[in-house]
Amino acid sequence: MGILFGEEEKKALEYFDEAAKIALNSTCRRARCGSLIVRNDQIIGIGYNSPPKDEESQRRCSYSKESYNKKVTDKTCCMHAEQRAVIDALINNSEKIEGSRLYFVRLDRDNKILKAGKPYCTHCSKLALDVGIEEFVLWHDLRIAVYCTKEYNKISFEYAD
């Protein structure tokens, strides 16, 4: 993990602000999240969390996570913001995704950016690793951290509540 300083940190804050704007499109009833993928200072993919195809018939936000069978590993009904950003980048900028950076934010009830905890989503880390995203960027309490996607994936598998 690396820490961003100076101009890199300033640019990351701009990307987090943009990801927060994207998160406002979320229709999830549990959390509002936004992601964007950047390569060479160009946004190549964006995403927010909502049910697949934004279809209301796919919504299960009110289901208790304990109601799912233990084999169901992703107990959200929504496409993750990161997944949507990857899909968007693959559709519109597939030649640019290799070596890119993914920024992720979650908003509070007042639409302010929440500081991130440790990496934990293995679904998104595996997908990012497979398509060639080089780094994940999270805004922690005291710093902006950049994780090599391999490291992010490893940490996400070690995550425990």
By DSSP bridging, strand 101-107 and strand 113-114 are: antiparallel
* Mean of the per-residue pLDDT values of the chain: 89
| pLDDT at residue 54, as a whole number | 67
Q: Are 134 and 40 in contact (CB under 8 A)?
A: no
The CA angle 123-14-138, to the nearest 5 degrees, is: 30
Q: What is the pLDDT of residues 120-156, one digit of tens each?
A: 888 899 999 999 999 999 999 989 999 999 999 999 9
How distant, in Å, are the alpha carbons of 5, 73, 120, 136 from that of 123?
A: 29, 9, 9, 14
* Tokens found for residue 22: 């994207």
Question: 75 versus 14: which is more confidently predicted?
Answer: 14
| pLDDT at residue 161, as a whole number | 62
What kind of fold does domain 2-158 have according to CATH? Cytidine Deaminase; domain 2 (3.40.140)
Supply the pTM of this predicted model.
0.89
Is the alpha carbon torsion for 50, 52, 56, 62 positive or negative? Answer: negative
Three-state DSSP class for residue 46: strand
